Amino acid sequence: MISSSDLWMYYQTLRLPPNVVEEVEQMRCEAPSRKVGVHALNNIKVDLYSRCNGARRKLESYTCEAAFALETELSGSTIAYWSQVGLKGIRRGSRTHVMTADFMVYDVDGIRIVECKPQRALDHLAARKPDEWQMDDGIWHRPPLEQWCAARGLKYEIWSPPRPHGIYLANLMVMYGAVDTTADSVETRKLDRVERMLEAGPVSLADALSETGLSFAAAACALANRRIFGTLRSRLLDDQEHFDLFPSEEHARMVDEGLLARMATSYDMEPVNSRLMTASRTDYEKGKIRLARVERMLSGDEEVTRRYSGLVKRVLACRESGASPLEVCLTSYASSGCRVPRLNHMQEDELAKAVSAFQRSPSIRSKTQLHGILEGKCQQRGCETPSPSTLRERISKSSRGERALAVGGRRSYHAVKDPVDPIERTIDAGVPFLKVHVDSTKFDNRSLPSELRAELGPMCPTLYVAVDAATGLVLGRALLFGNACRDAFAVLIRDIVWRHGRLPKFWVADGGSEYTGAWFEEFCTATGASRIQPPSGAPRHNSPAENILGRVNGQVAKYLAGSTDPDKSGRRADAKHKSYRTARLSFVTLVKELDAFLFEDIPTTPTGLKLGTPRENYEDMYALAGDGGLTVKFDTGFLVQTSIPITRDIKVDPTKGIRHEGRTYSSSALFAAIASGQSPTEKRRDCVDPTMMYIRFARGWVSASSPDSLKIRAMAEVEQLFELMISKKMRADARVQRDLVRDKRFRRLALANASLPATNHLPSEMQQAPPDIRSSSDWGDDADLDPYTYAGE
């Protein structure tokens, strides 16, 4: 991250006036000036870890702002940048406005204010505000912002992603994931050979890698560092046979623009001018009848009438020119009829108000109810009420999404929303472990005893899965009782590292608290990962994980004993496990069957239009592009990172250790740190092992264990998780049982005191009645007498 002294030197180098420096510093310190994506319905938010800034950047668009941020990260000429920057004092005519720019970029040669808009949004804005959004010679301008920046010595720029943008975004993610690859001397020599090959002319990436032995990661890093250049906007990097390399950036850009324009043209269909292809069925059938009559007239079977004389001439002309004679014989019934509106202005006004009310008001349940309201309004204005069919026709022409949003919320809105045009879709690069989809759901099986339900929540456990975006392989899973929480997510992260030794660089997860909280943000910052958040209520954006979860419940959970599937048929299914031992055995069995489905069945099952199975696709992609994940060691540091912080203040006893949730945690390292006079600054509990705790002091972390750690750690991880989940219930049961035993003992002792003359051997002066406890200063006036004190009287 750029320091304050470096910023001061940067401002001095640009020779900005003091007032401009002060204003720019205020903009930088206040960024982000607003929370991103608060009211957005379709935006995919991105929490990007920026290596350029050494900090996180909140972005409100995955397809536009994230693409610009990744491009800026790889530019090599950017010192730092900030998102959602507030601009004050922008003049529009006689008024002053406050606006928010997407980025403020500190380049080597100056400061840029950047607005990121896709091409379709710019066209829409130019149609609405032609005075503000203007295009000159292929470059977009915004005069009010340009004047504001020019007055302060800054630059203003409007940036648009290419169209289509999916290929470019996927390549940017691959290169951004590869820039931290450490190149050794051997890879450097291989890259020098590639550069010498390019001097003779362009070569494909596949030929360059096969002839020199250069790794895919090193080639992606060289493209990111601009040592070599390629068709990044029109060809995927993993399509090595068709991805061409060039020695100069200008040459690569010219070829890239040509390929991109050809691809965009294939999506934009030109309008069909032939009447024969656009005619209605009625016009087509009538045209064939007219052509048949013209044929009879030309053959002499029927006399040419005055009405058909012109049509006969046009048919003969079509035959001479080679055109279709049927086209000139088509009728135009679709254009006939009355074209004058049949409703007056009062009816149109009330009809528009009724449609708007139906779109925005969830209290209007049906169109029949709406027509009754419309009838009352029209009677008040003294006009005739439009018919119900007219009202239904107007509603059908209005937006379905607005009505769905008002009635059913975001999930209903995304259910009826039109699908995205294929040219606007994003695609995943063919690099395993680069991006992963994470989601959770209820494992549809009652495997929890009824007596544990109050403490552990629903009787069905919660299942977390992580699915690789490129191959569809399941990278990890976590199955825990209770609601979705960060404990289960931490177990999922550990499971991924335990199975593969790596973590993805981009996490796709919804807006759950375990994903958006401070704990996961700190974990992503420590590992250099980024998070992508789909819109709320839009499961199609997280479809790889959603699909796996649906298949688990449909193909595994419903066939196991304890399934809730019989409930749907009206039968009652309850948990049959009434002991801890039986419940633990059931939980272990569930996990075993779940692992067999996720890690044996799914990798060998082809899905969708992909050729081959997920495991075969992974092997092919790994052979071509390697692994795009982060190498993570399953060491103590990783265990601490995936442990859960304890927010409640817990005191540390210098002789006994730490008392937490019924267990006492101690260790020699803990007592040594306490003896040295240090105070703990942070405490974390392990997400899997209930007997482990991590305590942070000024000199570092130490661990502490409970006395039952030897017994618990000898168990399998699944059994440790079960012990962790039921430990709260076991503590509560033990507390209740202790109270019952204590009460029984006190009553037994009271009866013993009543039956034994235990005071006969005492002197007479000591056999007096005991003093009144209520007069003692140790008891309040409202204290109740202890019933056992006078049991012997």
In terms of average pLDDT, the best of 396-410, 520-534, 644-658, 717-731 is: 520-534
**Six token digits for residue 709:** 């750690």
The model's confidence at residue 372, banded by pLDDT at 50, 70 and 90, is very high
- pLDDT for 449 equals 55
pLDDT bucket at 742, cuts 50 / 70 / 90: confident
Residue 142: DSSP 8-state: -
Instruction: Report how many helices (DSSP H) and strands (DSSP E) the chain contains, helices first.
Output: 29, 25
Sign of the Cα torsion 609, 615, 621, 627 reads positive
* Cα(226)–Cα(71) distance, integer angstroms: 12
* pLDDT over threshold 70, residue 258: yes
pLDDT at residue 781 in the model: 45
Nearest residue to 448 (alpha-carbon basis) of 736, 687, 719, 726: 726
Conformational region of residue 137, where left means phi above 0, alpha means psi within -120 to 50, and beta covers everything else? left
Q: Which residue has the higher pLDDT, 144 or 560?
A: 144
Model confidence at 91: pLDDT above 70: yes
Identity of the residue numbered 600: E
pLDDT at 431 over 80: yes
The pTM of the full predicted model, rounded to 2 decimals, is 0.83
Identify the CATH number of the domain defined by range 4-42+52-161: 3.40.1350
pLDDT at 765: 55
Which of 106-110, 443-447, 569-573, 609-613 shows the lowest mean pLDDT across its residues? 569-573
Which of 35, 34, 44 lies closest to 414, judged by CA?
44
The DSSP call for residue 563 is B
| Whole-number Å distance between alpha carbons of 64 and 420 | 15
Do 293 and 286 touch, CB atoms closer than 8 A? Answer: no
Answer yes or no: is pLDDT of 760 > 80: no
pLDDT at 782: 45
Q: Tell me which amino acid residue 390 is.
A: T
| Average model confidence (pLDDT) across the chain | 85
Task: Catalogue the E-assigned strands of 175-300.
Answer: 203-204, 229-230, 244-246
Nearest Cα residue to 239 out of 79, 430, 20, 515 = 430
A 10 A CB-CB count for 583 gives 21
Residue pair 725/482 in contact by the 8 Å Cβ criterion: yes
Q: Which of 75-79, 207-211, 229-233, 762-766 has the lowest mean pLDDT?
A: 762-766
Q: What percent of the chain has pLDDT over 70?
A: 89
Residue 769 has pLDDT above 80, yes or no: no
| Amino acid letter, residue 785 | L
Q: For 151-189, how does the pLDDT look when each residue is reduced to its tens digit (9 = 90+)?
A: 999 999 999 999 889 999 999 999 998 887 666 778 888
Could you give the CA distance from residue 737 to residue 748 in angstroms, rounded to a whole number? 17
Instruction: Tell which phi-psi region holds residue 516, choosing left (phi > 0), alpha (psi between -120 and 50) or beta.
Output: alpha
3-class SS letters over 637-690: HHHHHCCEECCCCCCEECCCEEEECCEEEECHHHHHHHHCCCCCCEEEECCCCC
pLDDT per residue as tens digits for the range 19-39: 999 999 999 999 888 888 777
Angle between helices 205-212 and 185-198 (to 10 degrees): 130
Q: What is the pLDDT of residue 579?
A: 63
The number of beta carbons lying within 10 Å of the beta carbon of residue 73 is 21
User: Both tokens of residue 724?
Assistant: 């962790």
pLDDT at residue 447, as a whole number: 63
| Distance (Å, whole) CA 307 – CA 153 | 75
* Domain 430-631 CATH assignment equals 3.90.180.10: no
Q: What is the pLDDT of residue 749?
A: 86
- 61 vs 586 pLDDT, higher one: 61
Q: What is the pLDDT of residues 297-311, one digit of tens each?
A: 999 888 989 999 999
CA atoms within 13 A on the CB side of 630: 24
- For residues 74-83, average pLDDT: 91
CB 609 within 8 A of CB 567: no
Dig out the tokens for 766 from the structure: 């000591």
pLDDT grade for 787, boundaries at 50, 70 and 90: very low
Question: Do residues 125 and 161 touch, judged by C-beta distance below 8 A?
Answer: no
Give bridge partners of residue 645 from the DSSP assignment. 684
Q: Which helix (H) or strand (E) holds 701?
A: strand 700-705
When pLDDT is cut at 50, 70 and 90, the band that residue 450 belongs to is low
Per-residue confidence at 458, pLDDT binned at 50, 70, 90?
low
Terminal alpha carbon distance of the chain: 80
- Match 């260790």 to its residue by tokens: 667
Checking if the pLDDT of 773 tops 50, the result is no
- How far apart, in whole angstroms, are the C-alpha atoms of residue 577 and residue 590? 13
Closest CA to 101 of 31, 191, 53: 31
User: Taking the mean position of all CA atoms in its chain, how far away is CA 529?
Assistant: 14
Question: If pLDDT is split at 50, 70 and 90, which confidence band does 778 have?
Answer: very low
Of 58-67, 270-279, 573-582, the least confident:
573-582
Contact between residue 541 and residue 44 where contact means Cβ atoms under 8 Å apart: yes
Whether the per-residue pLDDT at 272 is higher than 80: the answer is no
Q: Tokens in use for 365?
A: 């349940």
For residue 705, what pLDDT band results from cuts at 50, 70 and 90? very high
Give the number of residues written for the chain: 793
Prior bond of 164 cis (ω within 30°): yes
Tens-digit pLDDT profile for residues 98-126: 999 999 999 999 999 999 999 999 999 99
Triad 242, 248, 254: Cα angle to 5°: 60
User: Mean pLDDT across the stretch 522-544?
Assistant: 90
